[in-house]
Amino acid sequence: FGKVFAEAGVHARSAVGVAVLPLDAPVEVEVIAEL
């Protein structure tokens, strides 16, 4: 993977292992931003 995508393929990943999200949300979105 790293050989094909080089620096563009290096990013943070996260996973949440829960049965139900708060407020019965269908998805969880995690954002890392730089201004």
Mean per-residue pLDDT pooled into runs of 10, the chain (35 residues): 70 80 86 85
Q: What is the pLDDT of residue 11?
A: 72
Q: What is the pLDDT of residue 14?
A: 79
Q: What is the pLDDT of residue 2?
A: 67
The DSSP-derived string for 1-35 is -HHHHGGGG---------SS-GGG-S---------
CA neighbor of 12 nearest in space, from 33, 35, 22: 33
Distance between CA 35 and CA 32 in Å, rounded?
Answer: 10
